[in-house]
Amino acid sequence: MREDTRTRIQEVALRLFTEQGYEATSLREIAEELGVTKAALYYHFKTKDDIVASLVDLRVAEIEELVEWARTRPRTPETRRSLLERYAANLARPSHLEVTRFLERNQTALRAHPKLIKMREAMLALTAELSEPGATPVERISRSLALVALHAGKWMTAQDGLTEDEIAKASMEVARRLVDM
Amino acid sequence: MREDTRTRIQEVALRLFTEQGYEATSLREIAEELGVTKAALYYHFKTKDDIVASLVDLRVAEIEELVEWARTRPRTPETRRSLLERYAANLARPSHLEVTRFLERNQTALRAHPKLIKMREAMLALTAELSEPGATPVERISRSLALVALHAGKWMTAQDGLTEDEIAKASMEVARRLVDM
DNA sequence: GTCTATACACTGATAGAC
DNA sequence: GTCTATCAGTGTATAGAC
């Protein structure tokens, strides 16, 4: 049984946006791959931006949920390590990884997009939860980098002759050291 | 005495590309701000991509120079720390900082651009120089992040109520710890 | 050498027919 | 739900004025 058109549009769009870039991917391209016309896309999504919005929604919700959880806990080393593990587990799901990669690669193109602004705010809030009020500049910067380390681990896949598993474990170890600094 | 048109095009283009994104900035926009027509831009640059290429050239050359320098030295902790300091000094110059920021923000849009591919290769080579042959996965990932830390310090300017100087010093300290891991 | 005028194929988007 | 037709605006290109 075939999926509905809306879902197929999202899948093709996410793939092409990530591979070629958001602006470099035309609606005609997406439509042709699906065997429909541009106008058909406009029945399912109001604008091109709207396709992006639909992709980002779930991801933002999960990060905000993670922030909520962190706020119920004291800002201790234990909380920080738990937060890292929850974030990594979340990132490990293929659909989320794809969306995150897409967003990282298309920052400027999507700069003014309301959903993207929400996403950025959520990530900032998450970073804030990794530092206690009296943290030094070195601690703040080092902890911001912990999340970057987890992303970097995912992008590095199949490089340097390391296995995917080695990279995942190593980047988690680096992230852990960064929040413990 | 007024600068020549070519230089003014580069300045306006770099600013608009960074602020709004590469694809979101039209040649008409650049031309209007300079008080000329689109066609005038085509006298000075063959294509829109060509404007980017001219901006990136110097930056790539300097990174490759840094790689050359590193290759003449043993891969020791001392070399790594020197490399960081040279890279940071290089990054501190306003023109380079702007170009680097522009490139980071427009990765996908410029994906296939030959100059960008050279830039990416140069950064990979630089990262490679930060690890000795027998380095563990944790060491490799941690050292790649050192360069990211220096960039992050620059982007973070005027946030969290920290002064620019505090941030610069702190991110250098984090970078140093990352290469010493 | 420096620029203007003009044209071309393509883009995101809309209106209306089936 | 999908189509055809059409719009203004885009990057690109060239012919020709000075």
Q: Which nucleotides of D are covered by protein (CB under 7 A)?
A: 1-5, 9-15
**B62 and B1 belong to one structural domain:** no
Tell whether B35 and B105 lie within a shared domain: no
Of B18, B106, B160, the CB nearest to A140: B160
pLDDT (tens digit, 9 = 90+) per residue, B73-93?
999 999 999 999 999 999 999
d(CA A152, CA A15): 20
Helix axes A94-105, A137-155, angle to 10 degrees: 110
CA-based nearest distance A69→chain B, Å: 22
Q: Which residues of A touch B107 (CB under 8 A)?
A: 105
Look at residue A159 in the predicted model and tell me its pLDDT.
61
Contact B127, B144 (CB under 8 A): yes
Question: Pick from B15, B16, B43, B38: which is nearest to B27 by CA?
Answer: B38
Q: Is the pLDDT of residue A157 over 70?
A: no
Same-domain pairing of A83 and A13: no
Same domain, residue pair B111 and B163: yes
Here the tokens at position A94 are 């293929």
Note the strand C nucleotides within 7 A of protein beta carbons.
2-7, 10-16
Residue B109 Cα to chain centre, angstroms: 16
Residue of A nearest to B142 (CA): A174
Q: Are residues A82 and A106 in the same domain?
A: yes
**Over the stretch A127-153, which tens digit does the pLDDT of each residue have?**
999 999 889 999 999 999 999 999 988
Same domain, B104 and B165: yes
**CA–CA dist B122, B124 (Å, integer):** 5
The reply to whether A41 falls in a domain is yes
Residues A73 and A160 in one domain: yes
Q: State the pLDDT at residue B1.
A: 40
Residues B69 and B52 grouped into a single domain = yes
For residue A77, pLDDT beyond 90? yes
Which domain covers residue A176, as residue numbers? Answer: 55-180
A109 in the same domain as A39: no
CB hemisphere CA count around B164 (13 angstroms): 4
CA of B137 to C1' of C1 (A): 57
- pLDDT interval class at A1 (50, 70, 90): very low
Which residues, 6 or more positions from A14, have their beta carbon under 8 angstroms from its beta carbon? Answer: A55, A98, A99, A102
Q: Are residues B41 and B94 in the same domain?
A: no
Please give the pLDDT value at position B160: 66
Q: Provide the pLDDT for residue A29.
A: 97
In a domain, A50, yes or no: no
Report pLDDT for B3: 66
Task: Quote the pLDDT of residue A86.
Answer: 97
Instruction: Judge whether residue A49 contacts strand C, using its CB and a 7 Å cut-off.
Output: yes
Q: Which residues, including other chains, have CB under 8 Å from residue B69's CB and lie 6 or more apart?
A: B86
Structure tokens at A75: 């800002």
Average pLDDT, chain B: 90
3-state secondary structure of A46: coil
Tokens of B107: 């990765």
Same domain, A67 and A38: no
- What is the distance between the alpha carbons of residues B86 and B35, in angstroms, rounded to a whole number? 40
Mean local confidence (pLDDT), A46-61: 93
Least confident range from A24-28, A52-56, A73-77, B108-112: namely B108-112
- CB contacts, 8 Å: B106 with chain A: 108-109
SS (H, E, C) A56-111: HHHHHHHHHHHHHHHHCCCCCHHHHHHHHHHHHHHHHCHHHHHHHHHHHHCCCCCC
pLDDT in tens, A124-133: 999 999 999 8
Q: Quick check: A20 and B107 CB within 8 A?
A: no
Q: Which backbone phi and psi does A135 adopt, to 5 degrees?
A: -65, 145
CATH of the domain at A12: 1.10.10.60
Residues A89 and A144 in one domain: yes
Residue at which a domain ends, from B29, B45, B61: B45
**Gap between the Cα atoms of B178 and A145, Å rounded:** 11
For chain B, what is the domain count? 2
CA–CA distance from B61 to each of A56, A118, A142, B44, B96 (Å)?
38, 38, 30, 22, 11
| Cβ-Cβ contacts under 8 Å, A174 against chain B | 138, 141-142, 145, 181
Whether A59 is in a domain gets the answer yes
What mean pLDDT value characterizes chain A?
Answer: 91
